[in-house]
Amino acid sequence: MKRFFSIGLVRGILGGTAGTGTGAGAVMLIRMAMGLPAWDEGQVWAAGIVAGVAGYLIALGLFNYWARWFVGARDRFEPNMPSRSWTRFLSVSTDHKTIGIQYLATALIFLPVAVALQLIARADLSKIGFSLNPETYTALISDHGIVMLFIVAIPAFAGLMNYFVPLQIGAKDMAFPRLNALSFWLVPAAGILMVTALGAGGFDTGWTIYPPLSVSYQPLGMNLVLIGAYLAGFSSILSAVNILTTVIKLRAPGMGIFRMPIFVWTAVSTTILSLLFTQFVSMALLFVLLERTLNMPFFGTAGGGQPLLYQYMFWFYSHPATYIFALPGLGIISEIIPVFARKPLFGYKAVALSSVGIAIGGTMVFGHHMFAAGIPALLRIPFMITTMLVAVPTGVKVFAWVATAWGGKLRMGSPLLFVLSAIVIFLIGGLTGVIQAVVPVNLYVHDTYWIVAHFHSVLFGGFLFPLMAGIYYWFPKMTGRRMSEGLGRAQWWLMTLGSALLILPMFVLGLDGLRRRTADYSNMDFRPLVIATAVGGFLIFLGLVVLFYNILRSRRKGAPAWDNPWEGRTLEWMTSSPPPYDNFPATPVVTGEPYDYGISSRPYADVTRSNPSKNR
C-alpha cells in the first residue's frame, strides 16, 4: 500500500480531487456570503477545476523544492539516480530523458484517442447505417482538433526536444530540471480535461472556439476545454523558457551556433514562437472563460465588446503555432536525410537560417485566416504577399533535402521511408498553401474541405510523418534496442496510403463545395469520396496500432542497438544507449562539423578526454 502511494500520479489524483472540492466549496461560500444562490454551474466548476489542478500539482510534490527555497531551509539531498522500474514514469522526475519519454508517451496515448473521435464522425458522414446528432458530430470533430494540437502535436515534439536537445548540445540536463517537470505534469491534466469535456456536454465551436458562439449556448464542456487549453499553453511557455535557456547557456565547449545540429536550430525557432505568441492565445481563451463565467463582455456586442478581437488574438498565435507544430518535424527530416544518404547536408547555413526565417515570416501572416471575416480590405493584400513569401524559406529547406539525397547512396531504413513520405506530403500542403493565399481563391475555398485537406497535409508532412521518423530513428537511443524493420515498413505503407486516401479526395470535395464542420450533406455525389477519406483515416489508425505493437515488442525483444546503429555523427550517438544519467562520460568538446558524412574523417566531437578548464 505504501508503494502504491509512493507513485506520484496516485497522490496527484487524490490531491486533485481534494482541490476540486475545496475550490468549488469556496466559491459556493463566497456566493452565499454575497447573497447569491450558491450554485452557478460555470463559476463553481471553473474554480473547482483550477483549484483541483493546483491540488494535483502540489500533491505530486512539484512545489516541494520551491517551498523549502522560500523559507531558506537547508538544501535536502536529492537522489540523482532514478529508479529503473517503469513506475518512475508515473512519478515526478527531473531527468530530461525521463521527462522526454513521459511527454512522448502522453502524446502517443492521446493520439489514437483523437483519431478515434474523428473516425466516429467520419463513419457518420459515410452514411453507413448509423447517424449521430449534429451536436455530437461537431463536438467530436472539435475535440479531435483541439486534442490533436494541444495534447498530441505540441507535447510529442516537446518530448523529442526534451530528450534530444540536451543530448545534441552536449549538456547534462536542461537548464531548469524542476521547471521542466512542472511543464510536463500540466499536460496530462490538460488532456484529461479536454477529453472529459465530451462527457460534460461537449462543445460545438470547432477547435477555433470563436465567439459569439463560444460565449453563449455552450454547455460546461466548453469551460473544461478552455481551462485545458490554458494549462497546455502555460506548459508550453514554461518549456520554451527552459529549452531556449538550455541552448543559449549549456552548449558544449566548441559548439558555436553554426555547429549546432539542425534539430536544435528548429527547436530554438519553435520555442521562440511558443514563448512569445502563446501568451496571446492564452489571453484570448481566458477572455472567453471570463465572459462565460463572470459575464465580462470582451466579445459580446451588448456590453460594447468586439467579436473580431478574438480572431485577431487567436490567429496571432495560431498561425505561428502551425510552425510550432511543423518546425521540429522539418528539423528531424534534416537530421535523418544526411545520415541515410551518407552525404553532407546541402547548404547547412541556409537550412539553419531558414528555420529562423520561417519563424519570423510566420508571425506576419496571421491575417490570411480572416480574409472572409470582414477585416479591412486594405489589410488583405499585405497578408497575401507575406503568406506567399513564407513559402521561400520553406522551399529552401525542401530544396536542400532533395539536393542532399541527390546522388547519395540511400539506405532505405524505415526512418528514411517516413521522411520521404513526409517531404512529398509537406510539399502538397505547402504548394496548396500558396494557392489559397490568393485572396479570391481564399474567399472561394474558405471553410470548405479544401482547407481541411491543406492543413492536414501540412501537419502530416510537418508533424505526423516526421514524428514517426523521429521515433524510428531515436528509439534505439532511448531504449538500446532497434525497432522491427518489417513492422516499420508495414506501418509506413498503411500510413502513406492512408494519407493519400485521406487528403487527396478532400481537395476535390472542397473544390466541389462540401463545407467543413457540417454533419450532413444532401448531394450523394460526395459520398464515394467521403468514404475514401474515412478509409484513409482507418488505415492511419491501423498504422498506429502497428506502431504501438512495434514499440511494445521491440522494447523487450528488439535486436540490441549499441551506441550508434545508424552511424550518425551528432553528439547523441557518442554516448551509450540509453545514455547514462549525466549523458556523457566527459564533457564533449566539439571540434568538427555535424554533417560531414563521407568527406571528413575528423569526428564531430571528442567525448572521452577529460576537460577540466571549461573556457567559455
Partner 1 sequence: MDAYVSRDKTERGASRMGMIVFLASEVFLFGSLFFTYFYLKINTKPWPPEGVALDPKFAAINTGILLFGSLLVWAASRLVRRGRMAAVQAALFTASVLGFVFLGITGWEWRHESFRAWTNAYGSIFFTLTGFHALHVFGGAMLMLALAIRTRRGKYTFATHTGIEVGALYWHYVDFIWILVFTTLFFIR
Task: Please give the residue ranges that form the binding site for partner 1 (CB under 8 A).
Answer: 69-72, 175-176, 237, 240-242, 244-245, 248-250, 275-280, 282-284, 287, 290-291, 294-298, 303-306, 309, 312-313, 614, 616
Q: For the CB of residue 45, give the shortest distance to partner 1 in the complex, in Å.
A: 19
Q: For the CB of residue 267, give the shortest distance to partner 1 in the complex, in Å.
A: 14
Alpha-carbon gap, residue 49 to 43, rounded angstroms: 10
Q: For the CB of residue 244, give the shortest distance to partner 1 in the complex, in Å.
A: 5
Alpha-carbon gap, residue 341 to 336, rounded angstroms: 9
Cis check: omega of the bond before 580, within 30 degrees of 0: no
Provide CB contacts within 8 A for 33, sequence distance 6+: none
C-alpha torsion sign, points 520, 526, 527, 530? negative
User: Toward partner 1, which CB reaches closer, 376 or 407?
Assistant: 376
User: Toward partner 1, which CB reaches closer, 30 or 294?
Assistant: 294
Alpha-carbon gap, residue 139 to 222, rounded angstroms: 10
User: Toward partner 1, which CB reaches closer, 44 or 428?
Assistant: 44
- Which of 308, 135, 99 is closest to 210 using CA atoms? 308
User: Toward partner 1, which CB reaches closer, 176 or 348?
Assistant: 176
Q: For the CB of residue 166, give the shortest distance to partner 1 in the complex, in Å.
A: 13
316-330 in b/e form (b: 16+ CB < 10 A) is bbbbbbbbbbbbbbb
Q: For the CB of residue 379, give the shortest distance to partner 1 in the complex, in Å.
A: 14
DSSP 364-430: T-GGGGGGGGT--HHHHHHHHHHHHHHHHHHHHHHHHHHHHHTT------HHHHHHHHHHHHHHHHH
User: Toward partner 1, which CB reaches closer, 72 or 440?
Assistant: 72
Q: For the CB of residue 102, give the shortest distance to partner 1 in the complex, in Å.
A: 21
- Which of 299, 323, 296 is closest to 310 using CA atoms? 299
User: Toward partner 1, which CB reaches closer, 297 or 578?
Assistant: 297
User: Toward partner 1, which CB reaches closer, 306 or 564?
Assistant: 306
Alpha-carbon gap, residue 422 to 463, rounded angstroms: 8
Q: And the C-alpha cell for 137?
A: 458530430
User: Toward partner 1, which CB reaches closer, 299 or 449?
Assistant: 299
Say if CB 461 and CB 426 are below 8 A apart.
yes
Q: For the CB of residue 175, give the shortest distance to partner 1 in the complex, in Å.
A: 4
User: Toward partner 1, which CB reaches closer, 373 or 487?
Assistant: 373
Q: And the C-alpha cell for 255?
A: 559548439
> What separation, in Å, do the N-terminal and C-terminal C-alpha atoms of the chain show?
50
- Which of 269, 309, 267 is closest to 285 using CA atoms? 309
Q: SS3 string of 34-95?
A: CCCCCCCHHHHHHHHHHHHHHHHHHHHCCCHHHHHHHCCCCCCCCCCCCCCCHHHHHCCCCC
User: Toward partner 1, which CB reaches closer, 219 or 297?
Assistant: 297
Q: For the CB of residue 63, give the shortest distance to partner 1 in the complex, in Å.
A: 13
Q: For the CB of residue 299, give the shortest distance to partner 1 in the complex, in Å.
A: 8
Q: For the CB of residue 292, give the shortest distance to partner 1 in the complex, in Å.
A: 12
User: Toward partner 1, which CB reaches closer, 207 or 299?
Assistant: 299
Alpha-carbon gap, residue 100 to 119, rounded angstroms: 29
Alpha-carbon gap, residue 245 to 253, rounded angstroms: 16
User: Toward partner 1, which CB reaches closer, 184 or 474?
Assistant: 184
Q: For the CB of residue 328, give the shortest distance to partner 1 in the complex, in Å.
A: 18
Alpha-carbon gap, residue 142 to 206, rounded angstroms: 4
Cis check: omega of the bond before 603, within 30 degrees of 0: no
Say if CB 561 and CB 579 are below 8 A apart.
no
Q: For the CB of residue 243, give the shortest distance to partner 1 in the complex, in Å.
A: 10
